[in-house]
Structure 1
Amino acid sequence: MIFIELNWLAIVAATVAAFVAGAIWFGPKTFFPVWWKLIGKEAGVDPGANLNMAIVFASTFVGALVQAFTLAVIIHFVAAGDSAFGALAGGVTGLLVGIGLAAASSLGHRLFAGAGFRVWLLEVGSDVVNLTIMGVILGAWR
């Protein structure tokens, strides 16, 4: 069964790494202020004022875990017969999944929602970076 063959430590490490990278990407000194303005929110307004942040962060972490698991399954099948498959190939796989699935599937959603192309670029940029980081970790620990 494939679930036994996966490196679960690598999946957890990839999840944590992507979670941290996402926190940096949308940090107060990086892209958060620009993203916040582009989605039409006022500067100085607490982004978590009406949200249960424990649920938001837990859900984000679970989403990253699902992404890492899914990417691990894809890498497992892509590298089935290749013992030399490593960090570079895993990173390329993550990059392709990020662009081919995350970016392509979300473009229409963000544009039809009226969020605009720049919001999509910021959000999908984080997804592509995170999936690439995940791929590097999962490919290296395969």
Structure 2
Amino acid sequence: MFLLELNWLGVLAGFVVYFISGALWFGPKTFYPAWMRAKGLDPENPPGLHGPALLFGLTAVGALVQVIALASVLWFVAEVQGPVGPLGGALAGLLVGVGFAAASSLSHRLFGGDGFKVWAIEVGGDIVGLTLAGLLVGLIG
């Protein structure tokens, strides 16, 4: 089974950099205030719908699943053409970020009434995180 053959050190490194880049992307001095305002919410008084353990725990699970999926794509590419390296990994991460994370959520955000700006801020972080994760998976793999 190919999942056993994944470079799990690369997956772990990619996950860590993805999670950290997401924290920086949505930090209080970066895109978080603009994102909240674009959603019509006060960044100083966000809705408290979930506790931090659930919020960050599920965010971490989602990030890990995305990095495993990206590492799987890179594994299949390497099986066909050989090692992809860091540049190939970064390009694959960019493609997965744009082609899956961004493209699949556009209609959800627009039909949900969130607008283009909310979508751009949200998927921008995913694209950056997946690109960096792909770079690390490709470098370590």
Q: How many residues align?
A: 141
Where does 1:1-142 land on structure 2 (aligned, <5 Å)? 1-45=1-45, 47=46, 49-142=48-141
Measured after TM superposition, the shift of residue 50 of structure 1 is: 3.7
Percent identity for Structure 1 against Structure 2: 49
Measured after TM superposition, the shift of residue 122 of structure 1 is: 0.4
Which runs of 5 or more residues in structure 2 are unaligned? Answer: none
- Using the alignment, how far apart are the partners of 1:48 and 1:60 within structure 2? 17
Q: Please state whether the residue corresponding to 1:79 is helix, strand or coil.
A: helix
1:133 is matched by which residue type in structure 2? L
Question: Residues 21 and 59 of structure 1: is their aligned pair in 2 closer, same or farther, counting only changes over 3 Å?
Answer: same
Q: Please state whether the residue corresponding to 1:106 is helix, strand or coil.
A: helix
Measured after TM superposition, the shift of residue 81 of structure 1 is: 4.0
Measured after TM superposition, the shift of residue 83 of structure 1 is: 3.8
Stretch deviating more after TM superposition (83-92 or 59-68)? 83-92
**Normalised TM-score (structure 2):** 0.95
Question: Residues 55 and 18 of structure 1: is their aligned pair in 2 closer, same or farther, counting only changes over 3 Å?
Answer: same
- Using the alignment, how far apart are the partners of 1:16 and 1:48 within structure 2? 27
- Using the alignment, how far apart are the partners of 1:111 and 1:80 within structure 2? 38
- Using the alignment, how far apart are the partners of 2:65 and 2:83 within structure 1? 25
- Using the alignment, how far apart are the partners of 1:76 and 1:50 within structure 2? 38
Measured after TM superposition, the shift of residue 44 of structure 1 is: 2.0
Question: Residues 43 and 135 of structure 1: is their aligned pair in 2 closer, same or farther, counting only changes over 3 Å?
Answer: closer
Which runs of 5 or more residues in structure 1 are unaligned? Answer: none
1:54 is matched by which residue type in structure 2? A
More helix by share: 2
Cα contact 2:32–2:43 (8 A) shared by 1: no
Q: Please state whether the residue corresponding to 2:29 is helix, strand or coil.
A: coil
**Normalised TM-score (structure 1):** 0.94
Measured after TM superposition, the shift of residue 43 of structure 1 is: 3.9
Cα contact 2:101–2:127 (8 A) shared by 1: yes
